[in-house]
Amino acid sequence: MDVLNQMQLDNHEQVNFFHDPKTNLKAIIAIHSTELGPSLGGCRMMEYESEQNALFDVLRLAKGMTYKSAIAGLKLGGGKSVIIGNSKTNKTDELLEKFGEFIDSLGGRYITAEDMGMNVKDMEIIKRKTNHVTGLAKDLGGSGDPSEVTSYGTYMGILSAVKFKLNKDNLDGLSILVQGLGNVGMKLIAYLAKHDINLFVSDIDADKVSDCVSSFGATPIAEKDVYDLDANIYCPCAVGATVNDKTIDRLNFDIIAGAANNVLENYEKHGNILFRKNILYAPDYVINAGGVINIYNELGEYNKIDVFKQVEKIYDNLLNIFVESEKQNIATNIVSDLLAEKIINEHKNDKIRI
């Protein structure tokens, strides 16, 4: 693995590899930036085809967290961690405690939270060994499961995209596909279902699909048919890279706006293709910022009403990006990157002047 060159490509500050022989913990923590504050980002536990794939995943996720926090106006940098293993069969209290020790050894440069394959209970176990953890249960001073806030922010982003693209103030009459029926996807559907929509759902878990069919009158879509569906809005809410070389020519949506991270497999290439196809893309790290806004507020005096008010700003943040994209005639994801970098560079310049 050519780690240093990969770090240099996107200016990552630090990458740490951890292994504990006793618990067989294999983990990577990537810190992209601490310019605006300590790096914060969730821990993802999953099996990877190779360690190279795990490194690629954690590096781009960490960078996304930097940009996400910058645009959301948070005093945080960007980081991310991955534990390589099966979250159902390899996860033990001892492994999570050892991971907590590794986080603690970084002296607060990285703060963890939950992500795919991890949950609030896991954060409680990690906290036994470090205070650099958020997304905790309410009885431990946290706010509990952040998926409600993430889904609400995604819903705000969808409303923003619909206003810009279709000039509508509601979702009535629209067809919407939600791919991925985890905690965020299901809560997002609850918000979407307040409108008179034609709902399509897709997930590898047949029971979750059945629940949506019975609870919301949704139409199930097989995974192989997702990218050929004729619908207004595609909401990816599971794994990333679903917009790739194999799927992008098949897409016929007006809008892509979902809670998944790293939706574009090739960030610049696929963002530009969507722009040329006149498909409005809501940059993932802007639309799904509700979760990081929520856990950031755990670091101070947590007030749920204030958190939801902050999350509602996602609507305007995206609208500004859409307008600027149209004005400059460049893809929305490039506009959002430029905006995030401007915020970070202005902070650097302010420190120099001081």
- Tokens found for residue 169: 């103030």
Contact 231, 253 (CB under 8 A): yes
Q: Is residue 313 annotated as a catalytic residue, yes or no?
A: no
- Tell me the three state secondary structure of residue 199: strand
Contact 256, 243 (CB under 8 A): yes
The C-alpha atoms of residue 1 and residue 4 are separated, in whole angstroms, by: 9
Q: Which of 63, 68, 80, 187 is catalytic?
A: 80
Q: How many residues are present in the chain?
A: 354
- Tell me the three state secondary structure of residue 262: coil
Strands 280-281 and 233-236, how do they pair? unpaired
Contact 56, 87 (CB under 8 A): no
DSSP secondary structure letter of residue 50:
-
- Tokens found for residue 120: 């609030």
Q: Which residues contact 109 (CB under 8 A, 6 or more apart)?
A: 14, 31, 34, 38, 39, 79
- Tokens found for residue 40: 């914060």
E-strand spans in the chain? Answer: 14-20, 25-33, 39-46, 77-84, 110-114, 175-179, 198-202, 219-220, 233-236, 255-256, 280-281
Q: Supply the residues annotated as catalytic.
A: 80
